[in-house]
Amino acid sequence: MTQPMPGMGNAMSEAKNEFHHARMRGSLAAVSARLNGKSIALLSFDDVANKLKITGQATRGIETIPLEAIVGSVGRYNDFTRTFLPRLKSDADRWASVRLAGSVTSLPPIDVYKVGDAYFVLDGNHRVSIAMQRNLAFIDAYVVEVRTKVPLAPDDDLDDLIIKAEYVGFLERTRLDQLRPGADLLVSAPGQYETLENLIEVHRFFIEMEQLIELTDAEAVARWYDEAYLPMVTAVREQGILRYFPGRTETDFYVWLAKHQAHLRNELGLELEPDVVVKLATQFKPRPNRRKKRSPRRILKVLTSGISKRSEPEPRWSQEKMLDRYSHALFVDILMPLLATAVSGHGWAPAINLASREQARVLGLVVGPESAAADQPANLLQQACQAAGVALQQARENGAVVETICRRAALADLVVLDATFDRSQVLEIAQRSPRPIMVLNNTETEINRVLLAYDGSPKAHEALFVAAYLAEQWPGELVVATAQESRRQRDVADFARRYLEMHEVNALFVQAPGKAAPLIMETAVNQHCDLVLLGGSGSGAKGRSRLGATVAQLVDWGERPLLICP
């Protein structure tokens, strides 16, 4: 009878004890996984290959691969945990024998399949298990790279595999990977690709209806990607919105935005540009309760300042518009509400002139019950915009005037109120609107000379921001009026002067002691100003929104159009 070598029995016993200790850790990991709902199972190579669809393979020879990137096995995926802790009691002898055969580095390389950045063990599962228990970082392997339609990542689990299998089906049906090579439409939750296919069909339907053509399947997919998907995703990237949603993908956010864009279009009658929809979404950082549905009207309600007492403080409007101020136009969408019960059409020239200079789109909104008389102001606005070459989009809503306008204001860059609105409506909208308000009178003058009323307050800084923009972009002149109502206000004009000099803007400064409103009125007349620009609502001692007395007096005066900044 062959006698074991001296010390061999103790070494085998120690190796088996090491195995049992590793297996106990595997059992504890399995219990923990059941409690927290996370899987610790290795992935099956056959499942992955079937779901992700093999498109080819190539032998890469011997490589040193990271152990943490090994995620599965070809045949023994049930025998080990995801970190290759042993799970079968009957495996003790085999595991211990490999453990005693020598150091892992002295054993032959293992055999693996490489899928994406992940590896599956074909031969050498026990060597991987022992190497991981020794906390090694790398192991030598014969690598065969298997190419699939969708790549696999080392941290993918079974749920990720299901999602990627759905992605493969989506690509097979749409051939998007062939039509737009390099496009990445991976999502983080199952069931999204059915929605994407529905969105493709919706886009196809509208194109075919509007252009009276019939698209092939390939044309429909390509046009959806180029005209619907890519603009929205580009806006998501530019806004950096994904930083608020870790673990989510661009396509996740596209699906969410596309649904809300459709709801807003259907309910509010407005076709929103991708960057506008994304800006709305930036208002919604993750909240603890994610199950609560956000309807389109709730979106607008949250965006309207002063409606929710518990809402977070609104950022300064000028900060929100800083990028647009330097890279685009400040006023891209101009909301012009029209009262269904009044005849409009007089005094629109300043607003139409502004829209023309900014190459803006006018959003006409008839507020009130539908009737034949209600069509008259909308028709007049259409004629005025056509004559000036200004783009117009019309909508109608029957609701409370102030509430409706303040909600809609969140979708625009400027709100224009003509002379058909009474004093109380103008003041309340100016107090509550999250966007600047232009209050018109019955004059038809264009804007060539602007008067900035500046008192050094935070809201006056907003007006100064607009004044500098207008002076830089428009071939007009700027006058700055500062009333020294108290000793501490004597030097407030210095900040405005330095700010305008920084922007290389020349302005005429008018300073005088006394109340602001009389000085503004007098200066506007004497300097032949076509528009008075000033800050509007602020916060009182208890945090409640209030409207300055100067604004109310200028609204009552009514001799010049006003532009009131929020």
Give 423-432 pLDDT, tens digit per residue.
899 999 988 8
Of the two residues 142 and 40, the one the predictor is more confident about is 142
Q: Do residues 142 and 208 share a domain?
A: no
Tens of pLDDT, residue by residue over 16-26, are 888 888 888 88
Q: Do residues 475 and 510 share a domain?
A: yes
What average pLDDT does the segment 307-321 reach? 48
Q: Do residues 347 and 409 share a domain?
A: yes
Of the two residues 273 and 28, the one the predictor is more confident about is 28
CA distance 556 to 245: 47
Domain count, the chain: 4
Predicted pLDDT at 374: 63
The pLDDT of residue 203 is above 90? no
Q: Do residues 143 and 182 share a domain?
A: no
The pLDDT of residue 68 is above 80? yes
Predicted pLDDT at 519: 92
Whether 532 is covered by a domain: the verdict is: yes
Tens of pLDDT, residue by residue over 386-417, are 999 999 988 888 888 998 898 888 888 899 99
The residue among 478, 514, 515 whose CA lies nearest residue 497 is 478
Predicted pLDDT at 105: 64
Please say which residue of 365, 395, 427 terminates a domain: 427
Of the two residues 376 and 507, the one the predictor is more confident about is 507
Confidence band, pLDDT 50/70/90 cuts, at residue 301: very low
CA distance 69 to 110: 14
Token pair belonging to 364:
């006409």
The pLDDT of residue 187 is above 80? yes
Confidence band, pLDDT 50/70/90 cuts, at residue 199: confident
DSSP category for residue 229? I
Predicted pLDDT at 151: 81
Q: What is the CATH number of the domain that holds 549?
A: 3.40.50.620
Q: What SS3 state is found at 434? A: coil
Q: Do residues 299 and 314 share a domain?
A: no
Confidence band, pLDDT 50/70/90 cuts, at residue 542: very low
What average pLDDT does the segment 134-158 reach? 85
What average pLDDT does the segment 266-287 reach? 50
What average pLDDT does the segment 154-162 reach? 74
Predicted pLDDT at 290: 39
Predicted pLDDT at 46: 84
Please say which residue of 427, 461, 480 terminates a domain: 427
Whether 349 is covered by a domain: the verdict is: yes
Whether 266 is covered by a domain: the verdict is: yes
Predicted pLDDT at 263: 55
The pLDDT of residue 155 is above 90? no
The pLDDT of residue 195 is above 50? yes
Q: Do residues 454 and 474 share a domain?
A: yes
Percent of the chain with pLDDT strictly greater than 90: 22
Predicted pLDDT at 295: 44
Whether 499 is covered by a domain: the verdict is: yes
H and E: helices and strands count for the chain: 22, 18
Confidence band, pLDDT 50/70/90 cuts, at residue 37: low
Predicted pLDDT at 273: 58
Give the range among 7-16, 17-26, 121-130, 466-475 with minimum mean pLDDT: 7-16
CA distance 146 to 532: 69
Q: Do residues 313 and 408 share a domain?
A: yes
CA distance 83 to 89: 17
Beta strands 508-513; 531-535: pairing state: unpaired
Predicted pLDDT at 272: 52
Whether 57 is covered by a domain: the verdict is: yes
Token pair belonging to 30:
């399995």
Whether 168 is covered by a domain: the verdict is: no
Confidence band, pLDDT 50/70/90 cuts, at residue 306: very low
The pLDDT of residue 154 is above 60? yes
Q: Do residues 296 and 322 share a domain?
A: no
Predicted pLDDT at 134: 86
The pLDDT of residue 438 is above 90? yes
Q: Mean pLDDT in the chain? A: 79
Q: Do residues 411 and 518 share a domain?
A: no
Of the two residues 293 and 452, the one the predictor is more confident about is 452
DSSP category for residue 560? S
What average pLDDT does the segment 63-74 reach? 91
CA distance 405 to 399: 9
Q: Do residues 554 and 463 share a domain?
A: yes
Identify whether the C-beta of residue 473 lies closer than 8 Å to the C-beta of residue 378: no
Q: Do residues 227 and 326 share a domain?
A: no
Predicted pLDDT at 293: 42
Predicted pLDDT at 276: 57
Ramachandran class of 347: left when φ > 0, alpha when ψ lies in -120 to 50, beta otherwise:
left
Token pair belonging to 177:
């990977």
The pLDDT of residue 291 is above 90? no
Identify whether the C-beta of residue 516 lies closer than 8 Å to the C-beta of residue 492: no
Type of residue at 232: M
Full domain range(s) for residue 31: 8-160
Give the range among 2-16, 44-58, 312-326, 512-526 with minimum mean pLDDT: 312-326
Confidence band, pLDDT 50/70/90 cuts, at residue 128: very high
CA distance 24 to 85: 9
Opening angle at CA 462, ends 456 and 468, nearest 5: 95
Please say which residue of 128, 160, 192 terminates a domain: 160
Give the range among 60-64, 160-164, 435-439 with minimum mean pLDDT: 160-164
Q: Do residues 316 and 299 share a domain?
A: no
Confidence band, pLDDT 50/70/90 cuts, at residue 539: very low
